[in-house]
Structure 1
Amino acid sequence: MAIWQFLHENAARQPDRLAVIHERCQLTYAELEDWVERIATGLHFQGLAGCDRVVTVLGNTPEHLALLLACFRAGLVVVPLAPWSILAQIRYALRTSGARGIVAPTATLQAVFEDHGELRPDIIINTGDPLPIPGMIPWEVIEAGPGEVPPLPKSDRDHLAIIVFTSGTTSRPKAVVHSQNRLARRVIAYADRLQLTPRDVAYIIIGIGRPVVLAGQVLAMLRCGGTIVLRESCDPAAFWEGFRQPPQKTLTFGAPGVMKSLLAHPASREVDWSQCPYWLVGGDCVSPELHAGFIARAGRPLIEMCGMTETGFYSLNPPDRPRIGSIGQVLPGVTVRIVDAEGTPVSCGEIGEIAIRTPDGMIGYWNDTAETFRVIRDDWLYTGDLARMDADGYLWFVGRSKDIIVRMGYKVSPILVEQALETHPSIERAVVVGAPDSLAGQVPFAFLQLAANQPAPNADELRTYLADRLDPPSIPDSFVPIAEWPLTYAGKLDRARLVWIATNGGVPF
């Protein structure tokens, strides 16, 4: 099934049902499909066809949502970037993907191509400025759609759908390619696991170009015939203001840091959290404190899920029987095994690398056959993530294999050390990395975000505190307070930067 068929089928089945709600407008399924068809035809009329790549640098707007769907409808390959992407990141995406088109605000486009004219694609579409600008096509021209061009043919044939860049936390961002049919099948499996219906309403605060949001909220709603509520900001005050407004929200997603900020905001005490059954969280480890705080407020646990850019989500905690701290059970259509360094499956409960086999994973890395071949071996994708699986098939994340600290031959899990540190009343958040050591090879090095209105502990106090919670090799040699966490372009914690800081004496900035 092609992605655009989700919209087409619900536009035929329930044309007057609300598909999209945004502060500027509301769209029924019939109106959204008509708009998408016009944009797709407009893109085709400008010469974009086949597997041409189109970079988007837009926020959570109805225009961006319709553009993504129009690219799928026209058989184009969308390359979504966050609206806050820096110029180097946009240029990297243009160069790597070989894009023939880009859609972005006028000011962004002018800055991107200043002194980099060689990167200019054939089709440059500007938003936010309806006046003609030399070399650019106003968005209004595209969305109007040329009336004299016949409608695009409807086909079930699979097409390349999207190129997504990895977050680049451990290496240079890689361009991951997914096809429409594979992406659609993942959405169907996910929506069926959650038993989503037309009564569901997805409340979206994370960028819709991110795979987990595009598949897990946007396309999931179009699949089940539900409603998409778009917010352009994940500011906690704005979130709760929108949460209180109708319709009743039933599904939302955020990283642990987002959920923590929502929980801490005063407005969170004035709403009924229980009305939303699906509070999904992923992208990072969820601390026991966040789980406990959420249960106290919402009366139900967060639903942890896990995935990666290359596979999409592959595990999800069953909403009716979640296990707190687990990333859930494997989704239908996916096979997961836990293997040792030689690729041999380990025993139940033992820690090993997560290997995934699914017919609906990535096609491969764009223009990088060697890296594709390195990651996928004999149909198994080796994630680099360490976990254990219990007797009931629940996965328990341990850490990334590249993050594991090897001290005198002993393997230290940063996550376990971080969780122990975060039980200390003076520590808001802890991140532990490996620092080089001439004798031990590596030693744990802890960065600490201190809690407000709490005394700052010294290193000796922390070592004494950890002595009852960790084995001796896991206790960090150094503890350094940090005021602001370094982030990657994708907004994730930049562990590589922290390793560099630890290697160079522990001075954060």
Structure 2
Amino acid sequence: MTSLTSRLKGLWEIDPAAQAISYDGSWWTWGELTTTADDCDEVWRAAGAGQGARIAIVLENRPEFAAAVVAVLASGRCLTTVSPLQPTERMAADLERVQPRILVASPAVWERLSDAGVHTRVGLRVTVRPDGTVTAEGGPPAPRPEVDDAPGTAVEMLTSGTTGPAKRVRLSYRQMESALSSARSYDRRPESERKALPQGVGIVANPVVHIGGLWGVLQAMYDRRRVVLLERFRVQPWVEVIRAYRPKLGSLTPAGIKMVLDANVPAEDLSSLRALNSGTAPLAPELAEQFHDRYGIPVLSVYGATEFCGAVAGWTLDQFREYGRSKRGSVGRAQPGVRLRVVDDAGNELPSGTSGLLQVCTPQAEAGPGAWTPTSDLARIDEDGFLWIEGRADDTIIRGGFKVSPATVAKVLEKHPAVREASVAGRDDARLGQVPVAAVEPAAGHPAPAEDELIRLCRRELLPYEVPVRILVVDVLPRTPSMKVSRVDLLELFDHLDGERDEAAV
């Protein structure tokens, strides 16, 4: 039995009347959570899904789905996540690839799948309702061990797919345990105090179907900590939770930080916070400084990836106090047990301060301790071990043989006072291979900038081949569920506009 499995099995020993998960103003108890988990387990066992079996779940930010996750991982099965946030057509295509023998979903999702005609192609259809009741219909097809079983795999998770089609990453029980244990190493309390239920609460506003949200729920379950689960991030509900429970540490994506600043949340509402973690997307140092200046709360960047089960580098509060100004823009240092290095295209390690491709050595990676795992991130590491992420190698635009960094172009566009945020992507071009295109979201209180005005700004500050061929001004930039800008959907905006022009020309 793995330590993750045994830790989750220990949830059945907690006082069943104690609070576990808050959702929409009401608390689920540990007893309610484990009862729903037991009901899920009974249905799966009856279908012949034992240890190592893949259980596909259309995973929503709700307590009953947290219970279903506990049921999967406490029994040594494999959780295959399916996003409820994607359009029904994309979900149907994902399920065609997964071919689930057992699929768990809410009544609302089953209705969507039924309308799309997908439900009849699923084996055992398990419904988990908001009150925690579990029912099943249909029957699983004959077992296909090579498809239905994934021994040793804890989670099969889709990446966010911001720069291309999402891919499914397998995370083993060993990786998950290493990541959870690493996070727990920051807890300096004596073991006798750890055995008691913690008094504070965790707050999960990120989608549980992605690593940040799932990590928040699992860490709470692992530590027997109460957790407040939000359906999604919205400023006012998040602030209400901060006011109600007075946590010392919060977590927001860069987009969430912008939303809090734009909403002009009163400083006293956030006065309990001693620091704010920020990950999932690059954090502009100007944005972190603006938040710190307004609220007096340090923003601590975190760097990680789905493939590493979460974070592998970040800031501590002590490091921020000592290095916050001199290491501006860094995502912090390697976490305990993690090593980082930067290499050239041939794999040779580069000296401190030199930009190259980042590699990570961590027990949280699939390759295990001692092996170096390449990333797609361009980075540099200084002589003090601080890491700067400078972009992604795989989103570099090659325009007629010249390399264009989307981050460089976006940074210039965001200098315009009327631009709140910009995103740049490479669009296929028959002559040049790819050309940069951009979309910008206007800043509050400013009239929308004109495209020719933005083009002139780019021509002043960029090389000729870096200037976008087109710039769209949109009300809201398209985002993934984890609030990153989706370049896939951004490019679809241009395709849609071109399609409308073609129709108008006919």
Q: Give the TM bin, normalised by the shorter chain.
A: 0.7 to 0.9
Is structure 2 residue 121 aligned with structure 1 residue 119?
Answer: yes
C-alpha deviation, 1:186, in angstroms: 0.5
Alignment match, 1:258? 256
2:495, 2:112 → 1: CA distance?
Answer: 35
Match of 1:316 among 297, 310, 314: 314
Match of residue 342 from structure 1: 346
Counterpart amino acid of 2:207? G
**Separation of aligned partners in 2, 1:438 and 1:109:** 43
Consecutive unaligned residues of structure 2, counting only runs of 5 or more, are: 140-150, 502-506
Judged with a 3 Å threshold, the aligned counterparts in structure 2 of structure 1 residues 386 and 33 are, in CA distance, closer, same or farther, namely same
Q: Is the 8 A contact 1:71 1:78 kept in 2?
A: yes
Distance 1:10 1:504, change over 3 A: closer
> Which residue matches 1:95?
96
Q: Shift of residue 9 of structure 1?
A: 4.9
C-alpha displacement of 1:468: 7.4
Name which of 345, 365, 382 aligns with 1:361: 365
How far 1:501 sits from its partner (Å)?
5.9
**Mean CA deviation greater in 275-284 or 440-449:** 440-449
1:389 matched to 2:386: no
2:167 counterpart (158, 174, 196):
174
Could you say if the C-alpha distance between residues 464 and 496 of structure 1 is closer, same or farther in structure 2, counting changes exceeding 3 Å?
same
- How far does residue 183 in structure 1 lie from its aligned partner after superposition? 0.3
1:374-402 CA-to-partner distances (Å, cap 9, x unmatched) read xx9x9433221211111121211111112
DSSP 3-state at the match of 1:347 = coil
SS of residue in 2 equivalent to 1:3:
helix
2:407 aligns with 415
Instruction: Indicate the RMSD between aligned Cα atoms, in angstroms.
Output: 3.7
Q: C-alpha offsets along residues 456-503 of structure 1, whole Å, 9 cap, x if unaligned? A: 555675566567765666454554323332345765422244456669
Q: 1:291 aligns with which of 288, 300, 304?
A: 288
Contact 1:482/1:508, CA 8 A, preserved across alignment: no
Of all paired residues, the percent bearing the same amino acid is 26
- Residue 306 of structure 1 is matched in structure 2 by 303
Structure 2 matches for 1:443-458, cutoff 5 A? 444-457=436-449
1:429-444 to structure 2, matched below 5 A, reads 429-434=421-426, 444=436
Unaligned runs of 5+ residues in structure 1 are 138-157, 364-375
Pick the aligned partner of 2:178 from 185, 188, 202. Answer: 185
Q: Secondary structure at the match of 2:380?
A: strand
Aligned mates of 1:10, 1:326 — CA distance in 2: 38
**What's the offset of the Cα at 1:110?**
3.9
Further displaced range: 338-347 or 480-489: 480-489
Return the offset for 1:407. Answer: 5.2
1:327 lines up with 2:331 in the alignment: yes
Are 2:82 and 1:78 equivalent residues in the alignment?
Answer: no
Deviations along 1:52-94, one digit per CA (max 9) or x if unpaired, are: 2222224322211111011111222112334333223333343
Instruction: Quote how far apart the aligned CAs of 1:412 are.
Output: 3.4
TM-score (norm. length: structure 2)? 0.80
* Offset of residue 3 of structure 1: 2.0
Between Structure 1 and Structure 2, how many residues are aligned? 473
The answer to whether the 8 A contact 2:159-2:168 is kept is yes
Q: CA deviation at 1:43?
A: 3.3
- 128, 139, 155: which one aligns with 1:162: 155
Task: Name 2:206's counterpart in structure 1.
Answer: 206
Partners of 2:399 and 2:435 within 8 A in 1:
yes
Q: Return the alpha-carbon distance in structure 1 between the equivalents of residues 494 and 19 of structure 2.
A: 52
1:57 is aligned to 58
Shift of 1:31: 6.2
Task: Report if aligned partners of 1:436, 1:503 keep a CA contact under 8 Å in 2.
Answer: no
- Contact 2:451/2:473 (<8 A) preserved: no
- Cα 1:298–1:506 shift into 2, 3 Å: farther
Contact 1:287 1:419 in 2 (8 A): no
> Any idea what SS the aligned residue of 2:277 has?
strand
Show the counterpart of 2:70: 69
Distance 1:352 1:333 in 2: 22
